């Protein structure tokens, strides 16, 4: 004989609390939100009832009544990438201080999915943070037109009144180039990152700027993962470059591993740079020359910016955060 399911106990509502505390629903609400004045004794009774019943206001009902959900949608291309999980972590801590929660979605680097998820997030969220969106400009514009507070991290789109916070990728890679040039390198290979990525475009822009100080750049399609860097080993050796600029630290470490296997010494035979400074960069052998990006500040800045957007300030200028070159032992004279 099948045991009846324990019939999901009815939700405890504010009315239950009111009844238990012998107060009105409005009063309970007041106590809950600390709005208006309530007689201390009554308030205490209410608090007690809340405690005893284990009452928690329904987020849906609050959201509906208040007209805002207290939720911010965050869209990332790949949550498994520490760059983004770090950002989400910091951002979510930042907005929690504002009383907001974060709904994360992962587009798996697919621009089409990205648009769709963003539309879905809108239904839930009071504001949106788009991290390094790969979607076409038109989609981005459509999203902006929806009118809800929208912030973009690490992408700029000239002419599209986009509020954004960005890392100074261009400046960072320029610094890398300067460093390499100073060491006497003339020919460098660049292991390129994801196609649609703004960060990749910025790096390319810096690279072409670096021609002005005599750098000759070969661009090799690669990717953003350790495996991609490892795989790129032979291709790199096919060039006559004396230095390799990897898209990021993962790629650099993957390549470093392959080079070590192949008996190529770093920086003796080949100099190598990364980007983003992951923890392990200081711990590889040799330690990696890379660019430190202010992850924490980025998340923080995004949180603040979105807070202000949601408060109705619309005169926000976009911010670009400075980066810092970290010279270590993976780079040497040509």
Partner DNA sequence: ACGGACTGAGAAAGCGCTGTCTCATCGCCG
Partner DNA sequence: CGGCGATGAGACAGCGCTTTCTCAGTCCGT
Q: How far apart are CA 317 and CA 139, in angstroms?
A: 22
Residues 137-176 touching its own copies, rule: CB under 8 A, are: 146-147
Please identify which residue in 27, 69, 200, 273 interacts with its own copies, judged by CB under 8 A: 69
Q: Which of these ranges, 105-113, 154-162, 189-197, 238-246, lies near its own copies under the rule CB under 8 A? A: 105-113
Residue 285, number of CB atoms within 10 A of its CB: 10
The enclosing H or E element of 334 equals: none
Q: For residue 21, what are the contacts with CB-CB under 8 A and spacing of at least 6?
A: 27, 28, 42, 45, 46, 48, 49
Residue 79 near which of DNA, its own copies, none (CB within 5-8 Å, type-dependent): its own copies
Query: Could you tell me how many residues of this chain bind DNA (CB under 7 A)?
Result: 31
Torsion of CA 61, 62, 63, 68, to 10 degrees: 160
Query: Of 171 and 223, which has the nearer Cβ to its own copies?
Result: 223
Q: Nearest distance from residue 53's CB to DNA, in Å?
A: 10
Please identify which residue in 4, 5, 35, 40 interacts with its own copies, judged by CB under 8 A: 5
Residue 27 near which of its own copies, DNA, none (CB within 5-8 Å, type-dependent): DNA
Pairing of strands 271-273, 127-131: unpaired
Q: Which of these ranges, 36-44, 152-160, 196-204, 247-255, lies near DNA under the rule CB under 7 A? A: 36-44
Q: How far apart are CA 249 and CA 282, in angstroms?
A: 10
Site string for DNA, 56-85 (x = CB under 7 A): xxx--xx-xxxx------------------
Q: Which of these ranges, 131-139, 156-164, 199-207, 220-228, lies near its own copies under the rule CB under 8 A? A: 220-228
Cβ atoms of 114 and 77 within 8 Å: the answer is: yes
Identify the sign of the CA torsion 127, 132, 134, 136.
positive
Please identify which residue in 28, 50, 78, 190 interacts with its own copies, judged by CB under 8 A: 78
Using rule CB under 8 A, residue 222 touches its own copies: no
Residue 331 near which of its own copies, DNA, none (CB within 5-8 Å, type-dependent): none
- Using only C-alpha atoms, the chain has a radius of gyration, in whole angstroms, of 26
């Amino acid at each position: 004989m099948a045991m009846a399911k324990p019939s999901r106990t009815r939700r405890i509502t504010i009315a239950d609390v009111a009844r238990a505390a012998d107060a009105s629903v409005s009063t309970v609400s007041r106590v809950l939100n600390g709005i208006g004045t309530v007689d201390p004794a009554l308030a205490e009774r209410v608090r007690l009832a809340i405690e005893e019943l284990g009452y928690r206001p329904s987020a849906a009902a609050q959201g509906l009544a208040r007209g805002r959900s207290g939720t911010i949608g965050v869209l990332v291309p790949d949550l498994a990438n520490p760059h983004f999980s770090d950002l989400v972590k910091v951002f979510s801590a930042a907005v929690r201080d504002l009383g907001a929660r974060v709904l994360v979605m992962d587009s798996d680097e697919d621009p089409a999915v990205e648009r769709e998820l963003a539309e879905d997030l809108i239904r839930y969220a009071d504001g949106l943070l788009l991290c390094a969106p790969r979607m076409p400009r038109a989609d981005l514009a459509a999203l902006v037109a929806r009118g809800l507070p929208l912030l973009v991290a690490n992408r700029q789109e000239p002419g599209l009144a986009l509020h954004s916070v960005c890392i100074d990728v261009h400046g960072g890679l320029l610094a890398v180039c300067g460093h390499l040039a100073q060491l006497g390198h003339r020919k460098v290979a660049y292991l390129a990152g994801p196609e649609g990525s703004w960060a990749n475009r910025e790096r390319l822009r810096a690279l072409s700027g670096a021609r002005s100080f005599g750098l000759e750049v070969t661009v090799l399609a690669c990717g953003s993962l350790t495996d991609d860097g490892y795989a790129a080993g032979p291709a790199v050796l096919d060039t006559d470059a004396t230095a390799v600029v990897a898209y990021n630290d993962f790629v650099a470490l993957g390549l470093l591993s392959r080079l070590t296997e192949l008996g190529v010494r770093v920086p003796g035979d080949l100099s190598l740079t990364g980007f983003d400074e992951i923890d392990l960069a200081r711990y590889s052998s040799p330690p990696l020359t890379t660019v430190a990006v202010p992850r924490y500040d980025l998340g923080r800045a995004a949180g603040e910016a979105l807070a202000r957007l949601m408060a109705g300030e619309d005169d926000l200028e976009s911010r670009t955060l400075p980066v810092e070159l970290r010279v270590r032992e993976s780079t040497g004279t040509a």
